[in-house]
Structure 1
Amino acid sequence: MTTAIRPNRLRAGIFLAPFHPVDEDPTLAIRRDIDLIEHLDRIGFDEAWIGEHHSAGYEIIASPELMIAAIAERTQRIRLGTGVISLPYHHPLMVANRIVQLDHMTRGRAMFGIGPGLLPSDAEMLGVPVSKQRDRMAESLDVILRLIAGETVTEKTEWYTLKEARCQLLPYTRPRPEFAVASTFTPSGGKLAGRYAAGMLCVAASQQAGYDVLGTNWQIACDIARENGRTMDRSVLRLVAPMHIAESREQALREVKYGLNKWLAYFTAINPTASGDDLAAKDPAEAMVESGRAVVGTPDDAIAMLERLEKQSGGFGCILMLAHNWANFDATKRSYELFARHVLPHFNGSNIARAASLNWVRDNGKELMGKAMSAAAETVQKHFAEVAARQKN
């Protein structure tokens, strides 16, 4: 059991790709994504990161910036991130201008996750060589940060040209909005995070290959940052893991029958090596739980996974639950509520003082009650004495 308050409060959020089966109305699906983040804002979640994809039919948000603009007008406090902007698909000046505009529109609630682009089918349609995506991401990030810092940039590469380019607005957030680099299995994300003082989005933290390198990739970021005269703060390390929580494991397993198989079938289609074993299992949900890849169970099961991730990574600042639509919408919202009610307080020490106060009252109950009863008796005696005195007069 966690018995001490963390130096930094563990934050919670979601990573919304999103995942929507091709047998349901896409307009309603996008609206439900907005409704979900409004719900998370009400129950105290800290962050929501929204993806960018252009193919395969499931992950149907093409512009996370548009979603952030809409959701920001419907929420009060939750921070909203691009999860992620695929930098090789965009001219860097356009990205810089959109980032600065969103920073102003949200009054600093927007965050910017960046990556090379996940689906090779997206890159294929755009004529972007898959082998060059990571290099182009690094080129683009470098110039975007220079533009946001107010520099005038003239630069020509094999895929973009800038001629005395500059942002006409400086950021609302000074010196700049928060940036985070997607990290999976390779060290490229950690290198960029360390070089540019950005956070890390470990999008495969619970998958075995991603889990194995959590500590390594963070150390790479720390080493690169040190070479550049900076230190990394673990509060900007975010880990993504799929979870569905209910009051019992049996209930959780029943609820994910709603959509888990469709989700696994999609993953097998876009990456045949990613989840074929889970899909082929007699009970895919139990197979994912046994492998440690996911939580389908109770708040205690979620606590166990987070403690495992904390030990493996050395500590992190935010857990991002993968938004997956394994269960229906009502059960999904209840899952997030259970996480907020029972999992976060465990790590943040939210109830330490409450429990201590309750235990103190229990331990001293007889003495305290005795004093209360004595005080009541004295009050009664005083009353009758006053009555008697008035009657004599």
Structure 2
Amino acid sequence: MSMQCGIFMTPYNPPSRTPRQVFDWALDIARIADEAGYADFMIGEHYTLGWENIPMPEAVIAACAQTTKNIRFAPMAHLLPYHDPATLAIRIGWLSQVMEGRYFLGVAPGGHHTDAILHGFDGIGPLPPRQLEALRLMERVWEQKPFKEKGEWFQAGFPGPDTMPEYDVIIADNNPYGGRDNLEIAVTALSMNSKSMEFAGSRNYSPISFFGGTPQMKAHWDTWARAMEANGFTPDRKRFRVCRDVFIADTDAEAKRLFLKSGMMRTWKEYLKEIYVKFGLFNGIIEDSGVDITPDNIDEDFLAEHVVLCGSPETVIEKLEILADKCGGWGQIVANQHDSLDDPKPWEESIRRLATEVCPKVRMSI
């Protein structure tokens, strides 16, 4: 099986973009990716971040479904502590039925302090146990057995014969398409010691690794695989997704030239570099590079050579194969979306070439 490719739309669009611009850009990306043969399109859920502003990914997913044929979609991820679990369970099931299987689910507790403040929390610390309770209640709703439960933070139920009014009511089947067992659930990880990967493995959820160097990538796989085995599941590298920034052109020089004037470069310069420095996310990449540089001094050349998969199709294939030899294989490379509204053609060409000229040719044993 050839390595699949996916798109992750965080999104990285400058705060100057309007919601309509971001929405329409998502539809364009979905159409292009579907035509090129991408497997998955994942869309973030963020409420307060100017650079990552999509608070309602399911609206984007529903619109994209109308102009695509094969690509699957997922909110990546619904931030469960901020949702009523019973309502969300029904909406997830209903949308997956609308999509007729072209839907999977991402879940997370929420990792941004400002989103937590918006929802009345002092920070993100209290969120993980709320996610667990929300998930448990959602699973009970999907069982479609009568119950009523008030948890510590949420409440939910499902109607049965003893709770019907004095007339017949037909209860809608809003379970996930094909039943709960056919709903893939995925979890993302960024930090080296990711509790998310342990959580995902313990529940047989799929792992998605945001790349921060080979030590981090190995840690993500090892943590997930150990948790899978400890809970009676079999880890499979075909389920492992790896997120990377990618920029492909005819030659290495042309790819670098286009990258340096792209929206991807602007994102790194104005937004992501500061975050990666603050949280030590460059450390593994610097270790891999062998370059004597501090995170604060990372420049455009370092980004092009070591952070982004930047180059000709042949160069990107080589970089991916080297990574696979060091870390083990994976099933899907996921290209992070960046704003290219001002000059979309180079980005469109790059994502098409990833699917048609790179992924089918990468040598990987999984």
Aligning the two structures, in what range does the TM-score lie when normalised by the shorter sequence? 0.7 to 0.9
Aligned CA RMSD, in angstroms, stands at: 2.6
Q: CA deviation at 1:164?
A: 4.8
Contact 1:148–1:176, Cα closer than 8 Å, also in 2: no
- The letter for the 1-side match of 2:61 is I
Question: Which moved further from structure 2: 237-246 or 23-32?
Answer: 23-32
- The counterpart of 1:267, out of the listed 253, 272, 296, is 272
| TM-score (ref. length: structure 1) | 0.77
Question: In structure 2, what is the equivalent of residue 358 of structure 1?
Answer: none
The higher-RCO structure (CA 8 Å, 6+ apart) is 2
- State the partner residue of 1:241: 244
Q: Deviations for 1:262-317, whole angstroms, at most 9, x for unmatched residues?
A: 31212256666158967854x42x21134x32222221232133223323442211
The equivalent position to 1:19 in structure 2, one of 12, 37, 53, is 12
Q: What amino acid sits opposite 1:252 in the alignment? A: A
Normalization by structure 2: what TM-score?
0.83
The 1-side partners of 2:134 and 2:315 are apart by 40
Tell me which residue corresponds to 1:180: 186
Change over 3 Å in CA distance of 1:267–1:23 after alignment to 2: same
Q: Does 1:169 align with 2:174?
A: yes
Are 1:229 and 2:232 counterparts?
A: yes
Cα offset for 1:146? 3.5
CA deviations on 1:232-291 (whole Å, 9 max, x unpaired) are 22222111011111112222222221324431212256666158967854x42x21134x
Identify if the C-alpha distance between structure 1 residues 139 and 218 changes in structure 2 by more than 3 Å, giving closer, same or farther: farther
Equivalent residue letter for 1:249: D
2:343 corresponds, among 328, 331, 335, to: 328
Q: How far did 1:10 drift?
A: 1.3
When structure 1 is superposed on structure 2, of 211-220 and 172-181 the one drifting more is: 211-220
The structure that has the greater radius of gyration is 1
Identify if the C-alpha distance between structure 1 residues 23 and 226 changes in structure 2 by more than 3 Å, giving closer, same or farther. closer
Bigger mean CA deviation after superposition, 92-101 or 164-173: 164-173
How many residue pairs were aligned?
335
Is 2:137 aligned against 1:143? yes
Q: Which runs of 5+ in 1 are unaligned?
A: 1-7, 350-393
- Which residue among 295, 317, 323 is the counterpart of 2:331? 317
1:158-215 CA distances to partner (integer Å, 9 max, x unpaired)?
421224579852222232311101122233222222222110111x22x13xx41323
Relative to structure 1, the CA distance from residue 105 to residue 272 in structure 2 (aligned partners, 3 Å threshold; closer, same or farther) is same
- What is aligned with 2:101? 108
CA distance in 2, matches of 1:79, 1:239: 17
Aligned position for 1:302: 316
**Contact 2:246–2:335 (8 Å) recurs in 1:** yes
User: C-alpha deviations, 1:321-348, integer Å up to 9, x for none?
Assistant: 1111368211100001221222112127
Partners in 2 of 1:127 and 1:340 — Cα distance? Answer: 43
Q: Answer with 265-274 or 236-245: which moved more.
A: 265-274
Q: Is the 8 A contact 2:3 2:360 kept in 1?
A: no
Q: Which is richer in helix? A: 1
Residue 303 of structure 2 is aligned to residue 288 of structure 1: yes
User: Contact (CA 8 Å) 1:214, 1:312: kept in 2 or not?
Assistant: no
| Correspondence list, 1:1-393, <5 A | 8-128=1-121, 129-164=123-158, 168-174=173-179, 175-185=181-191, 186-202=193-209, 204-205=210-211, 207-208=212-213, 211-256=214-259, 257-264=261-268, 265-268=270-273, 273=278, 281=298, 283-284=299-300, 286-290=301-305, 292-325=306-339, 328-347=343-362
CA 1:269/1:219 → structure 2, altered by over 3 Å: closer, same or farther?
closer
Distance 2:330 2:159 in 1: 37
Q: Secondary structure at the match of 1:130?
A: coil
**Is the 8 Å Cα contact of residues 22 and 57 (structure 1) preserved in structure 2?**
yes
